[in-house]
Amino acid sequence: MSTSRSAAPFDRHALADFRALAAHIDGNGPRYTSYPTADRFHTAFGEDAYLAALDACAHAAPSAPLSLYLHIPFCDNICYYCGCNKIITRDHGRSSRYVDYLAREMALVAARLGERRSVMQSHWGGGTPTFLDPDEMRRVMAALGEHFDLLPEGEHAIEIDPRTVDAARMTLLRELGFNRISLGVQDFHPEVQQAIHRVQPFAQTRDAVFAARRLGFRSISMDLIYGLPHQTTARFQETLDRVVALLPNRISVYSYAHLPHVFKPQRRIDTAALPAPAEKLDILVSTIERLTSEGYVYIGMDHFALPDDDLARAQRDGRLQRNFQGYATHAGYDQLGFGVSAIGAIAGCYVQNARTLDEYYDALDAGRLPITRGFQMSADDDLRKTVIGALMCNGTLDLAQIEARFDIDFAQTFDAELRNLDALATQGLVRRDAARIEVTALGRLLVRRIAMVFDRYLREAEPVPLRYSRVV
C-alpha cells in the first residue's frame, strides 16, 4: 500500500468560476458509462443478435482476454436513497437458487464462445455481492473457473457492504482471487445514516479497510454520496476526515438525485431535510478542495485517486477509458454481463439481461440467454464514443488522430457540434484550435455538459438545454 500523496490542489479559480456558473449551467446529464447511453438500448436487439455478437467475439480474437461483470441483486436492508436494481430479502435461500442460474448462464455463454477465454478484469456488483454466503461465493467462483481463466495479474473487484463482512469473510475474498474492493460508505454522520436507513458504524468500515490492507488487496475504494438528508458542508468534512485517515486508493463522491417518483425507496426521505442547492454545491466544491489538498488526484466527475493508483497513472499516460463501472484502466476488452440486469459490451454491441428474477429464470429454464434488449453500434456511434471518451477521460482530443483513425474530416463531420462547443468555450469550459480540443479545469467540473454536445441521440431528441435534469 503506497502512501504517495503529492498531487496538486485543484485550480482555485476554476472552483470559484464553477460556483458562479452552477446557477446557469447544469453539470448533470448522462454519465456516459456507455455511448450510446443505456436508455437507447431496445428490445428489437434480442437473443439472435447476442449470439451473433458472441460468434463475432469468438472469431475476431479468440485468444483476447475478456472482462466480466456479475450482478448480485440481493440486499438485507433497503437504503432509502437507493436507485439500484436490487431485491430486499432476508431469505438466503433465494441467493442459492440464483447462484445455480448464474452458473447456467455462464455455461451457455462460454459454450457459444468455444475457446476457454482468459479474463483480465472482473467485477461483482449489486445489490450486495457479499449477501452471498461463503459457500455461495465459492460456487460462483467455481462456475467462473470452470469456463474462464481469471488472470492473477488482472483486476478482480467486488463491491462490499462493510456491514456484511468480518475478518473471515475478507480472508475468503482474498483467497477467491479478488484483489480490489469497493466499500459503500456514503456518510459517517449518525443522523445522516439514520435518515437514509443505513446505520454503519465507522468501526465496521475501518476494520474492513484494515483487513483488506493486511490481506494485500491491491486497491481499496470508498463510495460516498453528497446531497443526502441532514448533510452540511461541515458535517461532510467530518466524514472526509475519517475517510482520508483510512487513505483509500480511490474515492468516489456521487451526487444524490432525489427522484421519489422514479425510485420508490426515496419516498421515505424527508425532502425538507435535504441540503439546499447552494449547500449541496458547497459540499461538492469543498470536497474537491479537501481531497485534492490531501493529495488525491481529481480523475473526473465523481472520482479521486492517489497519484500512484492505476487510474491516476492511466490518466497521466492518456490511457484512461470509460466502462460500465466508470473510469477504467482495462476498458478495451469485450465485456460479458451475467445476472439480472447485467450489461455486456461485445463486438460492437451492448446487451442487457432481464431485470426481474422471473424473466431471468424463465429464459434460462428454456435454454435461452436471458437478454431482453441491446444495441448494435454504428460506425458513427463508435466515432462519437471515442470522442466522448477522450474528452471525459483525458481532457484532450487530438483531431488529426481522430481523422486518421476514422477517415473523416473532423470540422465537416462535427460542424454543428463545434459551433455548440464554441458556446461552451465562451464560458471557459473548453479551448480549441485547428489541432485539438482541450477541456479546461472548469470544464472538467462540467465535463458531462461537454460530452453531451457530441451525443447524437440527445441532439436529435431535443436541443440540448443549458439546464439539464435527466438522470441516465
Q: Of 234-273, which residues contact ligand SF4 (CB under 6 A)?
A: none
Residue 224 is a binding residue for ligand SF4 (CB under 6 A): no
Residue 126 is a binding residue for ligand SF4 (CB under 6 A): yes
**How many other C-beta atoms lie within 10 A of the C-beta of residue 435?**
11
Residue 38 and residue 107: Cα distance in Å, rounded? 26
- The H-or-E segment that residue 351 falls in is strand 349-353
Nearest CA to 170 out of 213, 113, 141, 128 is that of: 213
**CA 7, chain centre distance (Å):** 23
Q: Of 179-208, which residues contact ligand SF4 (CB under 6 A)?
A: 184
Residue 161 is a binding residue for ligand SF4 (CB under 6 A): yes
Nearest distance in Å: CB 9, ligand SF4: 31
Q: Which residue lies nearer to ligand SF4 by CB, 149 or 223?
A: 223
Q: Which residue lies nearer to ligand SF4 by CB, 126 or 295?
A: 126
CA-derived radius of gyration, the chain: 22
Site string for ligand SF4, 128-147 (x = CB under 6 A): x-------------------
Nearest distance in Å: CB 182, ligand SF4: 11
Q: Which residue lies nearer to ligand SF4 by CB, 360 or 468?
A: 360
Q: Which residue lies nearer to ligand SF4 by CB, 200 or 372?
A: 200
With both helix axes pointing from N to C terminus, report the angle between 93-113 and 357-365 in degrees, rounded to the nearest 10. Answer: 50
Residue 229 is a binding residue for ligand SF4 (CB under 6 A): no
What cell numbers appear for 58 in the block? 469468438
Cα 335–338–340 angle (5° rounding)? 130
Q: Which residue lies nearer to ligand SF4 by CB, 182 or 386?
A: 182
Residue 102 and residue 369: Cα distance in Å, rounded? 11
Residue 76: DSSP 8-state: S
Which residue stretch of 45-53, 125-133, 140-148, 209-217 sits at the interface with ligand SF4 (rule: CB under 6 A)?
A: 125-133
Backbone angles phi, psi at 328, to 5 degrees: -150, 155
Residue 63: DSSP 8-state: T
Task: Give residue for cell 484550435.
Answer: 433
Total number of residues binding ligand SF4 (CB under 6 A)? 11
Q: Which residue lies nearer to ligand SF4 by CB, 127 or 389?
A: 127
Nearest distance in Å: CB 164, ligand SF4: 9
Q: Of 47-86, which residues contact ligand SF4 (CB under 6 A)?
A: 75, 78-79, 82, 84, 86
**CA 385, chain centre distance (Å):** 16
Nearest distance in Å: CB 72, ligand SF4: 10
Which residue stretch of 121-129, 266-274, 300-308, 460-468 sits at the interface with ligand SF4 (rule: CB under 6 A)?
A: 121-129
Nearest distance in Å: CB 146, ligand SF4: 28
Q: Annotate 438-462 with b (16+ C-beta within 10 A) or e (fewer).
A: ebbbbbbbbbbbbbbbbbbebeeee
Nearest distance in Å: CB 283, ligand SF4: 19
User: How deeply is 212 buried, as exposed, middle or buried, from its count of CB atoms within 10 A (0-12, 13-18, 19+)?
Assistant: buried
Nearest distance in Å: CB 340, ligand SF4: 13
Which residue stretch of 120-128, 174-182, 254-262, 403-411 sits at the interface with ligand SF4 (rule: CB under 6 A)?
A: 120-128
| Cβ proximity of 325 and 24 under 8 Å | no
Which residues lie near ligand SF4 (CB under 6 A)?
Answer: 75, 78-79, 82, 84, 86, 126-128, 161, 184
